[in-house]
């Protein structure tokens, strides 16, 4: 497989030839930055971990050069931190027993440029090689601009595939805006209770970000626990960790669906629910 950027990296933890490693993929995560997959697509990782008939592969679109840095990384240049972060992502791929790991090496500026066709080209190549059943993306209501751009490029790439080769399920996941605000009927409920030791290990791999001033490792676990605890007020918890998703599959089935209108419809349903609950007791 040939990717567009010279700094693109393809890594197969068990040294299976790339074509074979990619072809065994059943679950694919497409994220903006190193560590996004482990935070947002942990459900897919656990669905595949330790199994031989399911395999998780990951795609990280950007090079990580713009990340925050303090502590031992405080004096690192953009180029130096961009060398560290892909190594951390490779470590996560080993810990999570991924089928394959693709790092495309684009700058955030390049990803945000809708006229840059290369990002979509790379994603089409990877989607064709992996042919996943399930794809995990950032959700289109996320508040991180690069996350939104990556989601739009991924949707564009999937829409270029023949319908017969498109994923059966596409889920928009939580990172920089959680999805607790979705109506319960609109939530894709992902049980992330399995392998809590694996979750801790995957999150902890990204030392440059944790030492760099963000306790993502604790925040992500805390969010999953809070989701499980506050999901249902009238019954005991059935899971210790839950993650919410937004079903993006209709955007892949119907190319005419507008991403903005589709996303805002979730907000309108929330608005209607709030009005009805208040009116009920006013």
In this prediction, residue 54 carries a pLDDT of 98
In this prediction, residue 209 carries a pLDDT of 84
Q: State the chain's mean pLDDT as an integer.
A: 95
- Give per-residue pLDDT as tens, 3-12: 999 999 999 9
Distance of CA 211 to the CA centre of its chain: 22
> Is the pLDDT confidence value at 69 over 80?
no
Residue 204 — φ and ψ, nearest 5°?
-75, -15
Residues in Cβ contact with 242 at an 8 Å cutoff, skipping those fewer than 6 apart:
189, 190, 191, 192, 193, 224, 227, 228, 231
Buried b (16+ CB within 10 A) or exposed e, 77-105: eeeebbebbbebbbbbbebbbbbbbbbbb
Residue 246: pLDDT band by 50, 70, 90 thresholds? very high
- What DSSP state is assigned to residue 50? T
Percent of all residues in the chain with a pLDDT value above 70, rounded to a whole number: 99
Per-residue tokens: 172: 């928009």
In this prediction, residue 75 carries a pLDDT of 83
Give rounded-to-5 percent helix, strand, coil for the chain: 50, 15, 35
In this prediction, residue 212 carries a pLDDT of 64
In this prediction, residue 237 carries a pLDDT of 79
- Kindly list the structural domains of the chain, giving each domain's residue range(s) and its CATH number in brackets, ordered by start: 9-256 (3.40.50.10320)
In this prediction, residue 1 carries a pLDDT of 82
In this prediction, residue 68 carries a pLDDT of 74
- Give per-residue pLDDT as tens, 124-181: 999 999 999 999 999 999 999 999 999 999 999 999 999 999 999 999 999 999 999 9
In this prediction, residue 65 carries a pLDDT of 83
Residue 188: pLDDT band by 50, 70, 90 thresholds? very high
- Give per-residue pLDDT as tens, 72-117: 888 888 888 888 999 999 999 999 999 999 999 999 999 999 999 9
Work out the average pLDDT over 60-66.
90
In this prediction, residue 40 carries a pLDDT of 97
């Amino acid at each position: 497989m040939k990717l567009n950027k010279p700094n693109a990296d393809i890594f197969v933890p068990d040294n299976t030839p790339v074509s074979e490693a990619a072809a065994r993929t059943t679950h694919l995560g497409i994220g903006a930055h190193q560590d996004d997959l482990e935070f947002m697509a942990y459900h897919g990782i656990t669905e595949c971990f330790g199994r031989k008939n399911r395999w998780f592969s990951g795609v990280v679109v950007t090079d990580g050069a713009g990340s925050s840095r303090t502590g031992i990384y405080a004096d690192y240049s953009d180029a130096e931190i961009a060398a560290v972060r892909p190594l951390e992502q490779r470590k996560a791929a080993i810990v999570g027993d991924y089928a394959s790991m693709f790092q495309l090496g684009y700058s955030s500026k390049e990803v945000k440029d809708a006229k840059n066709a290369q990002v979509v080209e790379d994603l089409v190549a990877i989607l064709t090689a992996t042919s996943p059943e399930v794809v995990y993306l950032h959700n289109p209501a996320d508040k991180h601009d690069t996350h939104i751009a990556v989601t739009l490029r991924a949707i564009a790439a999937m829409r270029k595939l023949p319908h017969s080769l498109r994923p059966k399920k596409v889920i928009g996941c939580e990172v920089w805006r959680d999805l607790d605000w979705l109506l319960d009927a609109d939530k894709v409920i992902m049980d992330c209770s399995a392998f809590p030791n694996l979750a801790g290990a995957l999150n902890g791999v990204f030392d440059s970000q944790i030492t760099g001033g963000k306790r993502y490792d604790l925040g992500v676990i805390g969010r999953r626990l809070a989701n499980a605890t506050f999901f249902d007020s009238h019954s005991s918890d059935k899971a210790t960790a839950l993650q919410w998703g937004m079903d993006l599959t209709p955007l892949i089935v119907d190319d005419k669906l507008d991403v903005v209108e589709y996303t805002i419809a979730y907000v309108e349903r929330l608005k209607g629910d709030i009005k009805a609950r208040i009116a009920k007791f006013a």
